[in-house]
Amino acid sequence: MKLRYGMARPHITKADKRAVERVLDSGILSIGPNVEKFEKAFARQIGTRYAVAVSSGTAGLHCALIAAGITEGDEIITTPFSFVASANAILYVGAKPVFVDVDPVTYNMDPALIEKKITKKTRAILVVHIFGQPCDMAPIQRIAKKYGLTIIEDACESLLSTYRGKKAGTFGESSVFAFYANKQMTTGEGGMVCTNDARVARLCKSLRNQGRGENMQWLDHNRLGYNYRMDEMSAALGLSQMSVLASNIRERRRVARLYEKYLKSHERIIQVPRVAGGNTHTYFVYVVQLLKPGVRRDDIIEKLKRRGIASKPYLPSIHLFSFYKKRFGFKRGDFPISEGISDRALALPLYRGLTERDVKRIVATLTSVI
């Protein structure tokens, strides 16, 4: 069913279309000049020395974990309140995700809960900057330093957000971004690993290309690698999308302000996103919490849908997915803050082009069905 208001909508310009068409006309559809150009521009944007383009954010997380030397039996501290990819990537390298519960304001990993989860097997902290807002990095960096742990950032949802003036993606040994169609900018499918470490960058380039040797000579495969390459159409689209990135984020913030304005008078039953002091938010999604007792979030989703408005439960806690429960024995109650947010959270339509009238109508419908 086509809804009047969908969840997300990519903003594709005429210049984007021309850029992709030029690649198609050139006949060089992979391993060409656009990937390198996109990487250079992206590294400059984030402020890291290197950026390595890959086929998805998930592939980027996999490469970042291998590059950090994570292997069978290692334990990685991470958050249960995330898109499943951040925990899955830990399983790809045979390591164990060790979840810590989240902060009720930012929904990000609560630094105060990390230390008691550290064991002799702990090797890294995989932070996830959720929904567009960075984690509280200062205490996390202190803990990582104290115990000799590597920090890897899943910055897939938080492109260009900042923590105390510093961009998400500049705190870890490596950081990963993603360009799926609903992110702040898109390449269709795609991801990027950012790092200041030349070794990590070289290794990620090799890993994405079947483990080929660093001199890129044919058939010199000196490690197990993957096909995680980004194609030229995606890279050209990404490069072109970078010129609308700032305005995409401005638009997301404008819509977020409008939601705030119209939800203000309902703050007792609808909790709007809160931004911690020192953070800026780039609104990958706009997620409210339904606070009214007795209101079932999933009923609200159904009622909104019948009125032409898309909404989604955002996000289910990873430890309660059946696969994770079966594999690790997790159960309800293990991470109560994360679970509570998962039960009440509702993502509302958010994309460039939503007008004040649209937001007003969405809020009026939401409050009427509640």
Ligand X SMILES: *Cc1c(COP(=O)(O)O)cnc(C)c1O
Q: Where along the sequence are the contacts to ligand X (CB under 6 A)?
A: 56-58, 82-83, 85-86, 128, 154, 156-157, 178, 180, 191
Q: Which secondary structure element, helix H or strand E, spans residue 348, and what is its range?
A: strand 345-348
Residues 6+ apart with CB under 8 A from 276: 103, 105, 106, 133, 136
- E strand or H helix that includes residue 163: strand 162-163
Which residue's C-beta sits nearest to ligand X?
Answer: 57
Query: Minimal distance in Å, beta carbon 17 to ligand X?
Result: 22
295 touches 370 (CB < 8 A): yes
**Closest distance to ligand X from the beta carbon of 197 (Å):** 21
The C-alpha atoms of residue 307 and residue 286 are separated, in whole angstroms, by 19
Nearer Cβ to ligand X (349/363) = 349
Nearer to ligand X, 58 or 122 (CB): 58
What spatial distance separates the first Cα and last Cα of the chain, rounded to whole Å? 23
Q: How far is the CB of 105 from ligand X (least distance, A)?
A: 18
Would you say 178 or 193 has its CB closer to ligand X? Answer: 178
Contact 346, 288 (CB under 8 A): yes
Closest to ligand X by CB, 58 or 133:
58
Which is nearer to ligand X, 114 or 156 (by Cβ)? 156
82 vs 150, which CB is nearer to ligand X?
82
Dihedral Cα 300, 304, 306, 309, nearest 10 deg: -150
Report the alpha-carbon distance of residue 305 to residue 83 in Å, rounded: 23
Q: How far is the CB of 180 from ligand X (least distance, A)?
A: 4
- Nearest residue (CB) to ligand X, 90 versus 114: 90
**CB proximity list for 57: less than 8 A, separation 6 or greater:** 85, 154, 156, 176, 177, 178, 179, 180, 190, 191
To which H or E segment does residue 192 belong? Answer: strand 191-195
Taking the complex as a whole, how short is the minimal distance between the CB of residue 85 and ligand X, in angstroms?
Answer: 4
The helix/strand/coil state of 70 is: coil
State the nearest-atom distance from the C-beta of 194 to ligand X, in Å: 14
In the bound complex, what is the minimum distance in angstroms from residue 307's beta carbon to ligand X? Answer: 27
